[in-house]
Structure 1
């Protein structure tokens, strides 16, 4: 109760976890004179570089920058930042940022996890005081203020008031009401052909006279609404598959409340994936299924497929994992928020509420990319007075879901911390679900800029699977890299198949050996699905199968509309 009471004031971050990391770092830094001497030397050299730059600038010389921003840091890309005095603020800040990176890294004896936490916290604190966030030090803000006579601050204050009001009343962000499921997004025609307490199963209407015999089942993550894979008609993966002659089914997860606190990870397997497969089997009997899982849905699908293989259940024609991890030894920056202390703190929060709230999850994801998702937005909307146009992907991102207490606790402990699935210790109904037992061919997608499921972590399926694995590395991040429709500008992917009897290579070797292919990985996946399907095409099945008589709700169903 005490930790649940404290949680709102710390935004769900365990104070004990931060203290342990800080103490580990400070103690080892205090007993490392060599590291401290190195930091003094680095500080002196950085000061010398900065003073040399200042002197050259004062003399009117064309002084090149003494440090460049890191890739992906766009705070100082405007031309005005390249001339004094603005260049001095940005150069001084970037040198300070680099020095603090040295301070928090490679301190002898500090545990890798604590090092990551301390470095992350230092970066967040430095971002707060970046000159780009200060209206008096940001030349872009000052230029806008001059041109508008200060109207940008009035508009920005109005934007802030509107955002604060919406946040306080639980309303979605400005502009998201232009992307309502079933109206502007999630509009691919279909029916709800099965429903239980946890899922609605959507079956989509065919657009071709004949279809591939094997249907496609899509299992999205339960941390998100399913319609990221059915956004606007032009970038809907589900519509793309339907138009290419596939019968598509998709799981739509319930948005759980406090009454669902005791739902377990096995409930999601049993009432989710297995129930969907049973329903499809009733609609199209004796046909194998191409199963595809996205993010957490892919992890659950991999565990389910492994459990099915252990029991001789061969209903899967293939297995596709989209930005989904199966080995959590290197899970990326989200691991900063996951250790035993933090998990105990989260357990206390969820015990009190019965679920993990949407704002807690959104806050964690935003911190991972605070420059892009927090500070640049605040500067643009509140200091410059500009509203970014809402997009379907942004509106979907704001339409978050909750996660039940027991299930999420099990997921973090068993998969993130104990890594049971990769080590063959993930038990399903008393027997281990072993990925090596899966014989269905796999198509696995990683994305180059993924902060949630880093592609090198996703790549580790090669080391676990004993079947043919076709791996695609797509441009973009965790969401935009998956929603990468044909015709999208500046998209590319790398693709290769490792057969079961071939040697494994490292992710770096794999990427270096392949040239990028321009275009969308969707086309490669659809061709792969076709190759692993029966040659004979069949008539599309009716909604709910032959003889279905009950009334069916239209897609997108009711669960996706739950708040």
Structure 2
């Protein structure tokens, strides 16, 4: 049994450490005025009659719970939502902990209904509902040692060692400023991640360009340029060999180049969106043309990389640079009319304050961005690890995708601030001529390239219905495909695994729901559909190059290169 003095000492230490962690989390993810639930409820003007009825019923149900606890009642029990694993253990059915669970589920239901009954505009109610969910996720009895029966049972079984080990992990993560989501000791970039053979054939202050070694005797004559997001490291496209999209693409016979963005350091804090277009996308495309000795290339882009590529096309058109044969946009928002829950974290006051000092430059921490994305799925990407790591003292299992998720990259403040203002706040990508880049007015409705648009049905970062809006902006032949699962798991879905499914429908209805209702579901990976779409645009098969780079662009170092190996301290 645990000694009462040591247990008391532990909880005093744990409480102090937990307060520090909570404060750092709130400071990192909550916009001004939204850190606590009462602030989110401030706009309420009044409650409806239904709200008071809901309130009365809530008190009656709580009373019933107390009566059940002492054996004097048999009220109906609530069940967690489908997929909620927090209360799955049999210990939660013990009377006291069942009471904690039922009281929490009842309170969650009541608070959600109260928000529904508030007299407020739709945007205010949506914001209130979002932060109500954040609050409810945070105060779950599963997240606290004294109300989690699994934690207490494990502490007794290990004679307190699980609590001591959890304390160590908590203090380590406070030092790192991130939650450990996987056993990071099991991964090394360049050794068991990002291992597709290739060479760095060009580099500047912003990116390294990788060219991959062919694995087939002949290849398509039109090269493929991959532009991943600059918010994270590129190797989400090149994880372990069995789920590497890059390796698969090379195996399909495409001469493949990839942009490896550099995590911004203070001396690069002056970079603007124009620089990511000029020194990034356009510089990479020019080198691909020179090495391949081909006028055109196909371009595959992912997330914010797709927005960079899309804004580069009008600049190229104005300069007479007809370099792209086709575009592929994976989980990309062009029209930000409805960007999803992430809009609740975007504070106009913060952006306005950064715009005042934008000329001075600066760096936006990748850890800050990672915490924001994690908060969108807090139960899975925050509280799950709080319980597993800090309360149970366990090390999470090795998972390559989660290792990548914690390997963040910094962005330049001018670039990031401009991005938030023009895309999320003003939705300028959907407004022809509303801004200029590299001295060129940007009009995405002038893009007539063949375009393949992929979205993921459960994407919490890029809602699929928002990605679908691209079909009403680009004017060239366009194919829209919807995959199952989320932002990453839906996109990185290897053909060899034969998992999930995807939907296709050649008729692009103006209404995304109408498109979906008429769509055909196909089993397996959407990569197969994309490969069939890309092949006719990739030209003839020719002999694979025997060397990488060229006389002008000699190999600098083996892939994955130095830039991707840099980690934030």
TM-score normalized by the length of structure 1: 0.88
Runs of 5+ consecutive residues of structure 1 not aligned to the other structure:
1-6
1:195 CA drift (Å): 1.4
Answering whether residue 360 of structure 2 is matched by residue 355 of structure 1, we say no
Q: Report the Cα distance in structure 2 between the residues aligned to 1:221 and 1:210, rounded to whole angstroms.
A: 30
Aligned CA distance change for structure 1 residues 480 and 9 (closer, same or farther; 3 Å): closer
Q: Say whether 1:298 aligns with 2:306.
A: yes
How do residues 442-521 of structure 1 correspond to structure 2 at under 5 angstroms?
Answer: 442-488=451-497, 490-498=499-507, 504-521=509-526
1:191 paired residue among 195, 199, 204? 199
Q: Does 1:334 align with 2:334?
A: no
- Specify the SS of the correspondent of 1:268: helix
Counterpart of 2:56? 44
Structure 2, gaps ≥5 residues long: 1-22
The match for 2:559 is: 555
Residue number in structure 2 paired with 1:527: 532
Report what 2:81 is aligned to. Answer: 70
Q: Are the aligned partners of 1:306 and 1:438 in contact in 2 as well (CA < 8 Å)? A: yes
Aligned to 1:4: none
Query: How far apart in 2 are the matches of 1:172 and 1:27?
Result: 36
Give the alignment's TM-score, normalised by structure 2.
0.87
In the TM superposition, residue 328 of structure 1 has moved relative to its aligned partner by 0.8
1:23 and 1:135, CA in 2 relative to 1: closer, same or farther beyond 3 A?
A: closer
Match of 1:267 among 275, 282, 287: 275
In structure 2, what is the Cα distance between the partners aligned to 1:21 and 1:128?
11
Q: Deviation of residue 187 (structure 1)?
A: 0.8
Secondary structure of the equivalent of 1:200? strand
Which whole-Å deviations, capped at 9, do the CAs of 1:389-426 have from their partners, x for residues lacking one? 12211111111110011111111111111111111124
Aligned-residue CA RMSD (Å): 3.0
Aligned to 1:85: 96
State whether residues 483 and 526 of structure 2, in contact with CA within 8 Å, keep that contact through their aligned partners in structure 1: yes
Task: Encode CA deviations 1:432-455: one digit per residue, 9 max, x unaligned.
Answer: 322222222111111122111111
Hey, what's the Cα distance between the residues in 2 that align with 1:89 and 1:539? 68
Which range moves more in the overlay, 339-348 or 227-236?
339-348
SS of the aligned residue for 2:95 comes to: coil
The question of whether the paired residues in 2 share the 8 Å contact of 1:283 and 1:545 is answered with: yes
Whether 1:97 and 2:113 are equivalent positions in the alignment is: no
Deviation at 1:267, TM superposition (A): 0.6
1:94-493 superposed matches below 5 A? 94-105=105-116, 107-110=118-121, 112=123, 114-165=124-175, 167=176, 175-309=183-317, 312-345=320-353, 354-424=362-432, 425-488=434-497, 490-493=499-502
In structure 2, the CA distance between the partners of 1:24 and 1:96, relative to structure 1 (3 Å rule), is closer
CA distance in 2, matches of 1:21, 1:83: 31
Aligned residues: 544
Contact 1:327 1:419 in 2 (8 A): yes
- The alpha carbon displacement at 1:106 in A equals 5.3
Secondary structure at the counterpart of residue 192 of structure 2? coil
- For the 8 Å contact 1:25–1:107, the answer to whether it is kept is no
CA drift at 1:236: 0.7
Q: 1:142 to 1:484 in 2, by over 3 A?
A: same
Distance 1:462 1:171, change over 3 A: closer
Q: Distance in 2 between matches of 1:153 and 1:345?
A: 43
